[in-house]
Chain A
Amino acid sequence: MTMVFEHFNFAVVIVLMMTGLFAVFASHNMIKKLVGLSVFQTSVFLLYISLSKVTGGRPPVLSKKELHGYGDSYAKAGDGADAAYKTVEKTAEIIYSNPLPHVLILTAIVVGVATLAIGLALVVRTREEYGSIEEDEIDAYNYQDNLEGVSR
């Protein structure tokens, strides 16, 4: 039972991933396929980010006390913002969540939107050429084209 709770996030993320993958495989509409790809992709991000969580950790943003010589000239302005940290700083070392997967996923999000944009441009171009974005209709047209040799 404990194992189920410890790996709860991963189990749900796998279900989400497989839902996205099913949308990619099973739909014949190209835009719905791309939405499924997007859901699949976001689920992979969820997997990575849940790996980087540390129990009792804080977001990887350092407090001013830990930075040697940062922002000395802004000491007045930063007082209010740092008030929240003071209780934590009196205790022992602060735990931070792992920043490295965050960086990797930041890059992946931006690259994902670039590939999505290219995919959507291809869909719009396909619609110009075939008048449809349903895969089976495009297949039927290509079949007809091969059979009768409709000249372009």
Chain B
Amino acid sequence: MNFLTPAFILDVGLLAMLVVVAFAVVRLRSLFAIVMLQGVYSLISAAWFVSLDAVDVAFTEAAVGAGISTVLMLGAMLLTEREVKPVPMRRQWAPLFIVVITGMAMFYAIGDMPVFGDPNSIANATLGVEYVEATKSQIIIPNVVSAVLASYRGYDTFGETVVVFVAGLGIVLLLGLNGNAGKWRAKPNGQDVSQIGAEDAS
């Protein structure tokens, strides 16, 4: 099998960009840069979805992941802080250990995954093909993803809209609708709480 096709080179290039962006997110300390790089990460993964034939997912990821998420995070950042305080090195060894162990366990399981692009793998050979065949005669619209999303699995999509509604409701209950989100400060005993903590630290 020939691996040096243009599609494979594009694949490798996009994945390399994703790795660089993800590492930069971990290393950086400016919150603005971190939030914007998260948008870049979503946009690159959307490009990768196009190269993997998932055009609908790419569309949604570019609109929702790179668009709305970035706007939400920028809003939250403007209401809170702009800089990340450095984490001392001794506090990073335990997370690194956990992550390396988890990653090694997943690498161990990689041999059980189907070969990339295999049409006869158990994931690709069964239900997906049936949905494509059924859409031709039952739903009769060109986009199979829309047919499955809105018709065969319509209840899932209904549940998804309920989740979005509940999330919106939760945000309103947390922050209120009076436009003062992030501006209110708790002052027990007439003293700013951040000052109380600072006295103890010094």
**A residues at B contact (CB < 8 Å):** 2-3, 5-12, 14-23, 25-29, 31-32, 34-36, 38-39, 42-43, 45-46, 49-55, 57-64, 66-70, 95-103, 105-107, 109-118, 120-125, 127-134, 137, 140-141, 143-144, 150-152
B194 touches A131 (CB 8 A): yes
A100 touches B188 (CB 8 A): no
A128 touches B140 (CB 8 A): no
B80 touches A31 (CB 8 A): yes
Question: Which label, helix, strand, loop or mixed, suits the secondary structure of the A interface?
Answer: helix
Residues on A with beta carbons closer than 8 Å to the beta carbon of B9: none
A31 touches B77 (CB 8 A): yes
The residue of chain A having its C-beta at the shortest distance from the C-beta of B84 within the complex is A29
| In the assembled complex, B117 has its CB within 8 A of some CB on chain A | yes
A60 touches B143 (CB 8 A): yes
Chain B 3-41, CB-CB to A under 8 Å as 1, else 0, gives 100000001100100110011011000010011001001
Q: How far does the alpha carbon of A113 sit from the alpha carbon of B19 in the complex, in Å?
A: 22
Say which size band chain B's interface belongs to: 35 or more
A120 touches B45 (CB 8 A): no
Taking the closest CB of chain A, its distance from the CB of B191, in whole angstroms, is 8
Residues on B with beta carbons closer than 8 Å to the beta carbon of A43: 22
Taking the closest CB of chain B, its distance from the CB of A79, in whole angstroms, is 15
The residue of chain B having its C-beta at the shortest distance from the C-beta of A152 within the complex is B188
Residue from the list B60, B100, B185, B197 in contact with A137, Cβ < 8 A: B197
**B residues at A contact (CB < 8 Å):** 1, 3, 11-12, 15, 18-19, 22-23, 25-26, 31, 34-35, 38, 41-42, 45, 48-49, 52-57, 60-61, 64-65, 68-69, 72-73, 75-77, 79-81, 84-85, 87, 91-92, 94-96, 98-100, 102-103, 106-107, 110-111, 113-119, 121, 123-124, 127-129, 131-132, 135-137, 140-145, 148-149, 153, 156-157, 160, 163-164, 166-168, 170-171, 174-175, 181-186, 188-189, 192-194, 196-197, 200-201
Residue from the list B61, B100, B168 in contact with A109, Cβ < 8 A: B61
Residue from the list A68, A99, A112 in contact with B136, Cβ < 8 A: A68
